[in-house]
Structure formats: structure tokens, C-alpha cells
A and B are shown apart, each in its own frame.
Chain A
Amino acid sequence: MAEAASVAAESLAGSRARAARTVLGQVVLPGEELLLPEQEDAEGPGGAVERPLSLNAGACSRVRVVCGPGLRRCGDRLLVTKCGRLRHKEPGSGSGGGVYWVDSQQKRYVPVKGDHVIGIVTAKSGDIFKVDVGGSEPASLSYLSFEGATKRNRPNVQVGDLIYGQFVVANKDMEPEMVCIDSCGRANGMGVIGQDGLLFKVTLGLIRKLLAPDCEIIQEVGKLYPLEIVFGMNGRIWVKAKTIQQTLILANILEACEHMTSDQRKQIFSRLAES
């Protein structure tokens, strides 16, 4: 019914704006406009129906809705900027209309402040390392941003090493800056990644899935072999197991997880566990 009602609502772009609620879980394309729940009632059937005027007109229930990745505010509607499935999360507690976002597949990384990424050192110039993180520009990393580093005590970083760090500055106007230290001055797992092991690239969506709390894949992988693994939000994964064979198996499994259903995955893991 809401669908039929909003058919009458036309946006500037000429396309029909749809209610976000009805499109949840479906594929949306860039350029579509979505109506938020309270706006559907406002549009009303045909817009010509008379509504009783309320005395406190300004106090229509405003719900704070968070616009996630892939969506943008356009007037009082949401404009889709990436193609993918529309998702919604209810607010846990308190007020708020929850979060809307678009689940899209992407391989190209755009630096975001606060993201933990794996970078490759490409150059050492004076006090700064240039680190390639897969974005449009190499990030800069100062040699003082390591735990326990002082002017006399420099960290042992060579060109070609792998670094796990987080962004402190990342916007589209400046080159990104990263550090290997958290706000308390501790490394917290960041820094130079060890010598052996394999680095490979996956899509960003898979990384987010693997980093979700209670990820089954990671638990099952952990039961297979003892391993060390580092996930970078820029799509890079570093993995190390006892032998080369095991490392290759793990790398192939993680890459294939993207395309497997959970049943197929369970099959593969059970077969691996036997052998």
C-alpha cells in the first residue's frame, strides 16, 4: 500500500521515489531516491487527502536515521550512490530510526580515518615512510609512530616490508597519514608484520564479513591449523601457518569463501579436518 502511495511522489530526477522499507534486501541502483518511513505518511495517498491540522505542527515525530555507506542525504530523502542491496538495522536502544546502508561489492579501497590496514613500504625519505595502502596516494608514516621509538631508537623498517597500522588522517583532499600506535601510545598489535607468510587480496566485503564478531569462518579456520592472520580493511590479508602447504590451503579457502554457501564451506572444512 505504501508502494502504491508513493508512486505518486515524483522526484526531480523523474524517477519514482520508493519507500525504503519496501526495498530492504533488494538491489538498488545509483540515482534512486528512497523515502524514509515518516515521509511516506507525509506524502499520503495522492497528497490530496486532507489531514487534520495539528496545533503543534513543528513537532512531527522526527526520527534520527543514520545514513550509512552508499547513501546520501538529498533534501529530505535518501539518494543511493552505490549499487547493491539495501540494508537496515534497528536501533539497539534509545531513540533513533536505525541505520540504512547499501551492501556493495568493491575491490578498490578508499582510505577512511580509523581503519586498520596492511600497507607495503615503498620509500624511505628522511623521517617519513611512504606506504602503499591500495588507495590513490601512498600514505605517510612517521618513524616516531611506533611503540618505543625515539629519535635515537629508530624502528627497523625496510622498503618492501609489511606494516599494519591505522589512519589518523584520511580525506579526499590530503594524502592519508597512518600510525602504528594507538592513542595510549601502545602498539596494540600494529607495527611491522613478520617476515614469512603470504599476502593476498580479497574484496572489501569479505573482509568486513570476516571481521564481524562471531564469524564462523574464522572459528573453523582456527580449529584446522595453528596460524597467524592479519586482516587489513583495504582488502589485504596476511596469513602464516607452519608449512607452505598449509598457508596455501588457508589462502585459497579464504579467497573461495566469498563464493561459497555455508554448506559448501562446512563440507570443505570437514574434509580438511579429516585429512
Chain B
Amino acid sequence: MKETPLSNCERRFLLRAIEEKKRLDGRQTYDYRNIRISFGTDYGCCIVELGKTRVLGQVSCELVSPKLNRATEGILFFNLELSQMAAPAFEPGRHSDLLVKLNRLLERCLRNSKCIDTESLCVVAGEKVWQIRVDLHLLNHDGNIIDAASIAAIVALCHFRRPDVSVQGDEVTLYTPEERDPVPLSIHHMPICVSFAFFQQGTYLLVDPNEREERVMDGLLVIAMNKHREICTIQSSGGIMLLKDQVLRCSKIAGVKVAEITELILKALENDQKVRKEGGKFGFAESIANQRITAFKMEKAPIDTSDVEEKAEEIIAEAEPPSEVVSTPVLWTPGTAQIGEGVENSWGDLEDSEKEDDEGGGDEAIILDSIKMDTGVEVSDIGSQDAPIILSDSEEEEMIILEPDKNPKKIRTQTTSAKQEKAPSKKPVKRRKKKRAAN
């Protein structure tokens, strides 16, 4: 089937909304959708849901003879398939560009980064090695396949257990799972891809684009990183011209996101391990809550339902004036600015602020509710405050958000928290603080 064409009206609306820093589902610019990881009964089987995008990953192993030029290394094989149920546009038997691109990117991310120790997969040098095969199936396409696929691949690999093998002289004994517990793979680090979508020739940037946003984007930048802040792969497609500081900013954001996702993965693996050890029930059937067949349930998603002006005024009324640390940026050329005396300063600020915001987390939906209850306040004139800003009826007016030290929660659900674009290097510090606090 052909995919549904994008109408002019939708394209225009999406681009205008992005210019106003609004996304269709109410997320902020640097927000990921909810990630949900569930495991099957077999080791090495998992389903990762990134919003509505779902990827199923399955790892299997086999004893084979090694490649001739790599006699002591195991073999890794990655395969991503776009199932026809994922989107009407996916047809069987056709190697579309998208499929080739995704497969290549996954291979580079997982194979070239040497995240799996292939030497440990060798059983008898030159004769028998383990071939590990990772099969990924896209079950539903709602944007950002590559992120979901990379998470599914690494989770499945971490979850997988291969049969134990012992070598005594010339004798090789392969134990069944009943005889000896299967052994996990030796994984050095977990590379995870983070996607950035660019709009209007690189002016606007969104993390984790969904399907609509992917249709109107100009270009895509994918950075694969692990939690030690090592970049494993970078790929820029779409032919947009990116400035150096944009790429640097993206890599910093990617570092933060990857740290969060890695934490989530480790927690999920730990939970599954605990359940299996305690003898509880595990598997996909358990991860689906029992519901009546006629119940329609949807996960709560935070919807920003308030008028922007009133929200901002309320925050301004309750927030403290910005601290003096924030100095004026010195604009060298469009796109390059400098704050403070050098790079070291901003790094120092970053480390401190990251630590102090660690305890600021909270549930998104609950935050929304609490804010909603508070807003009965009549919007008052903000002239009395000495905070920067704003407010008029004009839609083009930029919203300036204060230092979110005190109220990370409240600011989380605000939209249009656009700082003037004149200070791009200042932005990452602020943004990251907010996002970490909320997540």
C-alpha cells in the first residue's frame, strides 16, 4: 500500500508549531517519549516500546567455524526487519532505502564499537566459535525506529544467556541449560543511538521525532554513545549543513539522554533477574495487565492544557529573580557565543548542576495535575516583579524562562521556554537541568 500523503495543511502546521517550540504530543524539545522494556520467557527476548514505536528483539546463538582471517573471534550478525504490520507503506520483499540505512547504522553502532567481547566467544581456536545472531523486528512505526532498535538490541544482548562450554584438552563439552546454568555474554559497554531531527535548515532541533515530525524534517543526526560519554557512531543524513557548535550541543544532550536510558535498562534487567530468581512469573504475558476486553485504556500522557501567558506569569510571580551567575553572552558571530572566561567554566557549572538536580524528579502526569489545581489564580500584572519579561498577546513573542533552580517540576510542563537564540552555548546548560529534573 502507498503511505498516506502529507497534506500541505499538516506540514505548515507542524512547522509553525515547531517554530513556537510546540510538539504535537505536548513534549518539550529535548524530551523522549516513555520507554517501556518488557522481557519474554526465553533469555534474550525483549520488546521495547518508545511511545508507540515497538521493536521486538531476539538473540540466538550457534556453534560454527570461524572466519578464516579471524580464527579466534566469534561472529556477530545483526538483522533489522520492518514488518508489514508496522506501517502500511512497508511491503514485503522490497529492500527499501530506509531498511538498508537502518541496518547499516545498527551494524556500525554495535559491531564497530566493539561493545561485545568477540574473543570470549571462541571455543576452539580455528574450529568452533559462537555465532551470535540478533534479530530485530519493527512491530509498529511511530517515528524514531533507530533509537528503539538500538535499545532493543543492547537489551536483548544483555539479557541473553548462552550455553556453558568447557574444553579439556581435545574434548569440548557443551552443557545443556539443565546441566549448567547458561552464561551471559561479555559486554563491555552499551552504545545507544540518540536521534536529532532538524527543521528549517538547522534552525530548530527536536529530540526523538515521532512519525509526523519525521515527515517534515530537513535532516537527521544520529549519535550513538555509551554512558561513559564515548561516541560510537555519528551519522548525519538529509544533507543539512550543521554548525560545529550544533553538533557539540547535540553530543552533550545525547550524553545526558544516554545516561538516563542506560539507567532505565539496568533497572529493567535487574527487575527481570529478581523475578526469575524468586521464582515469580515472568514473560510477556505477565507484562500485559489483565483488562476486560471492552475496556479502552491509554497511558496517561502529559498534556499542556493551559494558556501560555497565564502559565508564564504564574511562574514569574512565584519564582525568584535569576542569580547573578548568569552573565551576558558575548556574541562573536551568529552561532558562536561565549560566556565566562573559557570552556572550563561552563563544564564546572554543568557538573554541579547535574548533581543538585538529581533529586528533582517527579512523575509527569502528577506534576500536571498539581499544577492544574493551582491555577485558579487570576493573572496579574507582572510589572511589580523584577524578573525579565514579557507578556503580550502577540504569538511571536519569545518566552523567557527563569533559572529553574527552585521549581524544576513546574517548569517541566511549560511550553515555549525559548531562550533567545543569540546565546546558543548558554542553552544546553539550562535545558539539561530542566530535563534531568523532570525525568
Could you tell me which A residues sit within 8 Å of B by CB distance?
27, 85, 120, 122, 132, 134, 136, 158, 160-162, 193-199, 238, 243-245, 247-249, 251-253, 256, 258-259, 268, 271-272, 274-275
Q: Which residue of B lies closest to A249 (CB)?
A: B305
CA distance A196 to B7 in the complex (A): 11
Q: Considering only CB atoms and an 8 Å cut-off, how many residues of chain B contact the other chain?
A: 36
Asked if B307 and A160 make an inter-chain contact with CB atoms under 8 angstroms apart, the answer reads no
CA distance A199 to B14 in the complex (A): 10
Complex partner residue of A193 from B5, B9, B415, CB under 8 angstroms = B9
Q: Which residue of B lies closest to A197 (CB)?
A: B9
Residues of A within 8 A of B303 (CB): 249, 252-253, 256
Q: Looking at A196, A245, A271, which has the most chain B CB atoms within 10 Å of its CB?
A: A245
Sample (22) of A-B pairs whose CB atoms are under 8 Å apart: A27-B294, A120-B5, A122-B5, A132-B2, A160-B8, A161-B8, A195-B8, A195-B9, A196-B9, A197-B13, A198-B9, A199-B10, A244-B20, A244-B22, A248-B22, A252-B25, A252-B26, A253-B303, A259-B296, A271-B305, A271-B372, A275-B372
Asked if A248 and B24 make an inter-chain contact with CB atoms under 8 angstroms apart, the answer reads yes
Residues of B within 8 A of A256 (CB): 298, 303
Residues of A within 8 A of B11 (CB): 160
Known A-B contacts A134-B4, A160-B8, A161-B7; the reply to A275 vs B13 at CB < 8 A is no
When A and B form their complex, which 6 residue pairs have the shortest distance between CB atoms, in order from nearest? A160-B8, A259-B298, A275-B306, A120-B7, A259-B296, A252-B303
Known A-B contacts A160-B5, A275-B305, A275-B307; the reply to A258 vs B296 at CB < 8 A is yes
Residues of A within 8 A of B279 (CB): none
Kindly identify, within residues 1 to 59 of chain B, every residue whose CB is under 8 Å from any CB belonging to chain A. 1-2, 4-13, 16-17, 20, 22, 24-26
Residues of B within 8 A of A271 (CB): 305, 372
* A121 vs chain B, min Cβ distance (A): 8
Asked if B375 and A195 make an inter-chain contact with CB atoms under 8 angstroms apart, the answer reads no
Given A196-B13, A275-B307, 6 more A-B residue pairs with CB atoms under 8 Å apart are A120-B7, A158-B8, A245-B20, A249-B305, A259-B297, A275-B305
Q: Which residue of A lies closest to B10 (CB)?
A: A199
Asked if A160 and B7 make an inter-chain contact with CB atoms under 8 angstroms apart, the answer reads yes
CA distance A121 to B308 in the complex (A): 35
Asked if A274 and B376 make an inter-chain contact with CB atoms under 8 angstroms apart, the answer reads yes
Residues of A within 8 A of B9 (CB): 160-162, 193-199, 238
Asked if A196 and B17 make an inter-chain contact with CB atoms under 8 angstroms apart, the answer reads no
| B310 close to chain A: CB less than 8 A | yes
Residues of A within 8 A of B296 (CB): 258-259
A-B contact count (CB 8 A): 89
| B324 close to chain A: CB less than 8 A | no
| B395 close to chain A: CB less than 8 A | yes
* B429 vs chain A, min Cβ distance (A): 27
Asked if B305 and A268 make an inter-chain contact with CB atoms under 8 angstroms apart, the answer reads yes
CA distance A85 to B375 in the complex (A): 41
Asked if A195 and B306 make an inter-chain contact with CB atoms under 8 angstroms apart, the answer reads no
| B293 close to chain A: CB less than 8 A | yes
CA distance A27 to B7 in the complex (A): 38
CA distance A132 to B17 in the complex (A): 25
* A250 vs chain B, min Cβ distance (A): 10
* B435 vs chain A, min Cβ distance (A): 20
Q: Looking at B1, B13, B16, B307, which has the most chain A CB atoms within 10 Å of its CB?
A: B13
Residues of B within 8 A of A244 (CB): 13, 16-17, 20, 22, 395
Residues of A within 8 A of B5 (CB): 120, 122, 132, 160
Known A-B contacts A197-B13, A244-B13, A245-B307; the reply to A160 vs B6 at CB < 8 A is yes
Residues of A within 8 A of B310 (CB): 275
* B34 vs chain A, min Cβ distance (A): 16
Q: Which residue of A lies closest to B415 (CB)?
A: A245
Residues of B within 8 A of A160 (CB): 5-9, 11
Q: Looking at A161, A162, A244, A247, which has the most chain B CB atoms within 10 Å of its CB?
A: A244
* A242 vs chain B, min Cβ distance (A): 9
Asked if B297 and A272 make an inter-chain contact with CB atoms under 8 angstroms apart, the answer reads no
CA distance A243 to B17 in the complex (A): 10
CA distance A261 to B2 in the complex (A): 36
Complex partner residue of A251 from B7, B24, B376, CB under 8 angstroms = B24
Asked if A85 and B305 make an inter-chain contact with CB atoms under 8 angstroms apart, the answer reads no
Q: Which residue of B lies closest to A193 (CB)?
A: B9
* A28 vs chain B, min Cβ distance (A): 11
Kindly identify, within residues 275 to 322 of chain B, every residue whose CB is under 8 Å from any CB belonging to chain A. 293-294, 296-298, 303-308, 310
Residues of A within 8 A of B305 (CB): 249, 252-253, 268, 271-272, 275
Complex partner residue of B7 from A162, A243, A247, A248, CB under 8 angstroms = A162
* B379 vs chain A, min Cβ distance (A): 10
* A220 vs chain B, min Cβ distance (A): 14
* B84 vs chain A, min Cβ distance (A): 14
* A42 vs chain B, min Cβ distance (A): 32
Asked if A243 and B13 make an inter-chain contact with CB atoms under 8 angstroms apart, the answer reads no
Asked if B16 and A27 make an inter-chain contact with CB atoms under 8 angstroms apart, the answer reads no
* A191 vs chain B, min Cβ distance (A): 14
Q: Which residue of A lies closest to B2 (CB)?
A: A132
Known A-B contacts A196-B9, A274-B376; the reply to A248 vs B17 at CB < 8 A is yes
CA distance A161 to B296 in the complex (A): 33
Q: Which residue of A lies closest to B314 (CB)?
A: A275
Residues of B within 8 A of A120 (CB): 4-5, 7
Contact with A along B368-410 (1 / 0, CB 8 A): 0000100110000000000000000001000000000000000
CA distance A180 to B20 in the complex (A): 35
CA distance A256 to B306 in the complex (A): 16
CA distance A249 to B301 in the complex (A): 13
* A85 vs chain B, min Cβ distance (A): 7
CA distance A114 to B90 in the complex (A): 31
* B340 vs chain A, min Cβ distance (A): 35
CA distance A248 to B306 in the complex (A): 11
CA distance A150 to B16 in the complex (A): 36
Asked if A275 and B8 make an inter-chain contact with CB atoms under 8 angstroms apart, the answer reads no
